[in-house]
Structures are given as C-alpha cells and as structure tokens.
Amino acid sequence: MSTTAATSNKATFRRFHDALNSGDAEVISKTIDVVVEPDVLFHAPVPMDATGAQALKHVWAVLLRAFPDIHVAVEDVIAEGDKVVFRNTVTGTHQGEYRGLPPTGKSVTYHEIFIFRFAGGRIAEIWGVVDVFSQLRQLGAIPA
C-alpha cells in the first residue's frame, strides 16, 4: 500500500478523532456513518449485542452519558499499509451511570491502544485494548 494511502488513512483517523472530542453524539454518529464501514469488525472490551458501526455508536453513546466531558488525547499515531495504530490517554468525569455504577463525580484517566484497518478509505476493522481495570479502580468499583 502506498504512502499516499497511509497519509489518507491518518487524515480519516484525525477526522474520526476530532468528532469524538466534539462531545456531540450527533456529530459522532454522522462521522461514524461517513468514515466507518457499516459492517466494521469491532474487537474491543465492550459487552453488547450490537455489531458493526452500530456497536461503535452505542459505545460512544454510553461513554458520553457516563463522562459528558470525555476527552481523548492522542499520544502516538503510526500508519503503515492499511493500518493506523494510536495510543490515547482518556480523561473524563463520571457524571452518569457506567457499567452499572451510579455517578461518582470522580475524575478518571486511563490509557488505550487501538488499531484501525482501512479498506477503500474507510475503517473496516478495529482492535482495541482499553485499561478498563484502571478505569473501574478509579471509580471505586475495584479496591485500590
């Protein structure tokens, strides 16, 4: 795959990332419709019945309800071939129900790494590793 494709994939990733940090569920949903394949394969720690782009939309709806001020800071981006890898630091304040936990008002900071595989300029597959243990420990669901 050409350097041009890797550059284009990084630009699509940035568009997706900018939408996530908008804090606007409608902007996020519409951006997912444009940059993500409807039948995207989604491999991440998110227990749910939805699949494809609908699963991704559901994840962000849950996160925005739980952490209305959620912010994803990209620490590293590596693009090669049909993949873009990025490492994030996520921050937010727990102001809504999350994984069965009522709002605590606590701030959380956790890390994640994602790999997006692109096909035809759109996100076709997602692998994610999210530090859910750290997230839940900070919220008091797991003893320190």
Residue by residue, pLDDT tens for the chain (144 residues) are 567 888 999 999 999 999 999 999 999 999 999 999 999 998 876 666 778 899 899 999 999 999 999 999 999 999 999 999 999 999 999 999 999 999 999 999 999 999 999 999 999 999 999 999 999 999 999 987
Taking the C-alpha atoms of residue 68 and residue 113, their distance in angstroms, rounded to an integer, is: 21
- Domain total for the chain? 1
Q: How far apart are CA 108 and CA 131, in angstroms?
A: 11
Write the DSSP assignment of 4-27 as a string of letters: HHHHHHHHHHHHHHHHHTT--HHH
Residue 47 domain boundaries: 3-138
Inter-residue contact 134 to 111 (CB < 8 Å): yes
Q: Domain for residue 143, yes or no? A: no
* CATH number of the domain enclosing 62: 3.10.450.50
In a domain, 144, yes or no: no
H-helix or E-strand spanning residue 107: strand 107-119
pTM, rounded to two decimals: 0.91
